[in-house]
Chain A
Amino acid sequence: MDALVNKRIKQVLKGDKDAFAEIVDLYQHRLFQVCFRMLGNRHEAEDIAQEAFVRAFINIHTFDQKRKFSTWLYRIATNLCIDRIRKKKPDYYLDAEVRGTEGLDMYSQIAASDELPEEELMKLELQERIQYEISRLPDKYRSAIVLKYMEELSLQEISEILDLPLGTVKTRIHRGREALRKQLSRQPHI
């Protein structure tokens, strides 16, 4: 996989856009997923994930081919997501829109300006509930939790993506898990 990607990168460096389209094909779902989990909104996720690929294309000459390309891509995308989140209101994670994931026609849009009342919470589909709880995490913990459990990356990779020491990543994941534990225990269980 890495050999193939590096070959495509060399072609892109020579100006071959079709080779870049192949790179997009390889990573688009993973990158879109991270953005969606971080932002909780398909439109924004699409915009940011596309922007991440565009930046990767423009800056591809700065990529060190001895390293893992996916790590580099994730890093661009998570930075863009965090920038986007911080540009929103300070109470962003309470304010985030929550949408369904698979079977998108049935998504319900919830402006969670406050904690949802119990009866509303009960109506959420499991997938909506997951996204709702994730969106309530502070972005520091959210990025670590999303990369660990939704992208299933190793702690080492997460530390490279977020440009944080391994110990800090572990702390964030621990705190993220504790925050989710409190969120879930306070409200009806699935």
Chain B
Amino acid sequence: MNACPERIVHFMHEYLDGEISREHELELKSHLQSCEACQAHMHELSDVVAFVKGAAHIEAPNDFNHSVIARLPKEKSSAGVSKWLRRHPVLAAAAMFLLLMSSALFTNFNDEQQFSFTKQENVLVEGETVIIPEGQVVKGDLVVRNGDVQIDGELDGNLTIINGTAYMASTANVTGTSEEINEVFDWLWFHIKDGAKNVVSFFEKEDK
């Protein structure tokens, strides 16, 4: 076989690739007829091709498709959101602030369903009603949540009632402002005003 030109083996592969020219094919055929070793080589190569082509077709497992879909990254829209956040950090911070603030307010609103009031002297409590008896003077602000207020005497301060009603006797006297808050939006508004007042007073203090 050593005597055989190297190109013969090359022609064998050209033949197997189906890309052999007419001249090469003729040379290969005439050589194979006269050389047993090359004939055997050619035979073995054909066997290799038949052997590999004998491989069975393999199918993916049944749940393959589902597994792929489960592995895909989450919706592209979330990528869009994070891109937007990165581009607008100030707006993102503002949005985050508003979100936290509002959620805090709403949870507060829901949490505070219980009857409560500012502790003051000279005040009576009957059930869920805070009473300022006739002739009594309460000094300071009074805040009542989830209850009513009955004023027969005098309140020297602001009165705020959340989810309740104020009953004023003819003798009643409230020196400050009187407010009733019954709805969520009133509640929000109250917090905003309250916050604004705090901010303003904070700046006033700064000025001093």
Contacts and interface: CB of A to CB of B under 8 A. Distances in A.
A102 B56 contact: yes
A190 interface: yes
Given A29-B57, A37-B55, 15 more contacts: A20-B72, A21-B65, A32-B58, A49-B64, A50-B67, A50-B68, A126-B54, A133-B51, A149-B49, A149-B53, A177-B13, A177-B45, A177-B48, A181-B41, A190-B51
Given A15-B75, A177-B49, A130 B68 contact: no
Interface in A115-157: 126-127, 130-131, 133-134, 145, 149-150, 155
B55 A150 contact: yes
Contacts of A54: 68, 71-73
Interface residues of A, number: 45
B55 A53 contact: no
B17 A155 contact: yes
A149 B52 contact: yes
B77 interface: yes
Nearest to B80: A15
B87 to A, nearest CB: 20
Contacts, number: 109
B170 to A, nearest CB: 69
User: How many B residues are at the interface, by size bracket?
Assistant: 20 to 34
A184 B54 CA distance: 14
B76 interface: yes
A173 B16 CA distance: 10
A126 B54 CA distance: 9
Contact of A17 (B55, B56, B67, B69): B69
Q: Interface centre among A20, A42, A49, A177, by most B CB within 10 Å?
A: A177
Contacts of B57: 29, 33
Contact of B68 (A24, A37, A42): A24
B206 interface: no
B44 A181 contact: yes
Given A24-B65, A58-B73, A170-B13, A184 B58 contact: no
B48 A184 contact: yes
A20 B59 CA distance: 19
B64 A50 contact: yes
Contacts of B53: 149-150
Given A20-B72, A54-B71, A170-B13, A29 B60 contact: yes
B68 A174 contact: no
A42 B60 CA distance: 9
Given A46-B61, A149-B49, A174-B13, A24 B55 contact: no
Interface string A14-27: 01010011001100
A57 interface: yes
